[in-house]
Amino acid sequence: MSIKMDIVGLLSQYEHGKFSNILLNDYFKEKELELPGLTRGEKGFITEVFYGVIRNVIFLDYSIDKRVKTIDKLWVRNLLRLSMYQIHFMDSDDAGAVYEGVEVAKVRGGTFIGSFVNGVLRSFIREKDEDIEKLLEDEEYATLLSYPKWFVDEIKWEHKENYLEILKSYKKIPNISVKINKLNYNEEDFLALLEMKNINIIKHVEEVYYIDSGAILDTYEFKRGQITVQDASSYLAAKYLDPQPGERILDTCSAPGGKAIAMAEMMKNDGEIVALDIHKHKLKLIESRTKQMGIDIVYPELLDARQVEEEFGKESFDRVLVDAPCSGFGVIRKKPEVLYTKKMKNVQSLAKLQSEILSAAGKVVKVGGILVYSTCTILNKENIENITKFLEKNKNFEVQKVEISPGVSGSFDKLGGLNIFDEFLDGFYMVKMKKIGE
């Protein structure tokens, strides 16, 4: 019961503007100082329910508001949300979920609140299947799948044939994905470690493994940088740049540094990678991560990526990666609150910024060099529309064909840009271009 009270508290703090990942990480750190501490099972339950409520909050609030006129206390709403999430989305005992919810309500608010919670939850159990059937009949997918209506309309417009499949996919619980550091570790030892820890591989893409347990994060190998967390989409953006040993590379929007690290490994720690960011504290993160992994060719620098020509001069890099700041709608499995904090006006502002960064980056690529543009979003305005404008203004660049890695679901747009839509990988867009003249 105390765990559910903690989740209610976490959800209330989230409602007041705290970032979900920071909130949960801080909570787990605090619990590590207590005895006996949380078990891995308890951590998993808390994580699933906390993120599950955020991920499905529109449907949960619809289910509450259908049964209640007003709720004055936020903690009561959050208790109903997490109890309904358990009942509908988890393989839980309905009666047990109701009982625990009522007990928490009694402890926190007294018998009256307990009776109120009991009535709402039992009504939900009786009527939820009928509610869902009606939402499907009316095609109220925004409510049913918990998306802002504008976002559903946009995805439907851009992907008429499979928009529902895309929307459903991004509501799945994500699996942890890790990559081994081949500078000081090898696949054979990694696989032996997984077997010893009884961790199973769910999907394998290139050097990235999707696994069924977060226990890998507690290992000595992870703590010393032999294993790092990275999504395959992020890795592929670096791979398509194809950095070679001895080359000079620019990573325009580098933090937290995962792609720079992957590129340094591909280069066998030989060459130079200039890693830019506009936040000093994020540069320190890149420095600490590269040091942990034994990499010494990454040079973090505080700079707005739109100023690269003034800082470095024309045609000063062999290859440039523009992993542009974006709306993040491709990573909503991991950061579900993005859906509720970003609107189309934010997308338009970001698209303008992305275009400016891309334009500046193109100027510092050497003739014959490579420019890769990538985002972790699935909206055309930030992807193909930006590339269309760039190619119209920069006739000295041409799109290079890339191959989709085995096991990855994706499709190419008319320009040759790759859209990754996969049930495991983050949603990503990437396009590879070569500079063919001055």
* Residues annotated catalytic, as ranges: 376
| Nearest alpha carbon to residue 372 among 330, 430, 307, 324 | 430
Measured CA to CA, the distance from residue 402 to residue 375 in angstroms comes to 16
H helix and E strand count, the chain: 19, 13
DSSP state of 385: H
What are 249's two structure tokens? 């590379």
Q: Is 349 strand, coil or helix?
A: helix
The string of DSSP codes covering 166-230 is: HHHHTTSPPPEEEEE-TTT--HHHHHHHHHHTT--EEEEETTEEEES-GGGGGSHHHHTTSEEE-
Measured CA to CA, the distance from residue 219 to residue 258 in angstroms comes to 19
Measured CA to CA, the distance from residue 96 to residue 4 in angstroms comes to 13
What are 287's two structure tokens? 């420095």
Task: Give the pairing of strands 272-277 and 248-251.
Answer: parallel
Partnered with residue 365 across adjacent β-strands are 317
Q: What are phi and psi of 197, to 5 degrees?
A: -90, 0
Give every CB contact of residue 27 below 8 A, 6+ residues apart in sequence. Answer: 6, 10, 46
What are 142's two structure tokens? 């925004």
Q: What are phi and psi of 140, to 5 degrees?
A: -85, 65
Positive or negative, the CA dihedral 383, 356, 350, 233 is: positive
What are 154's two structure tokens? 């946009």
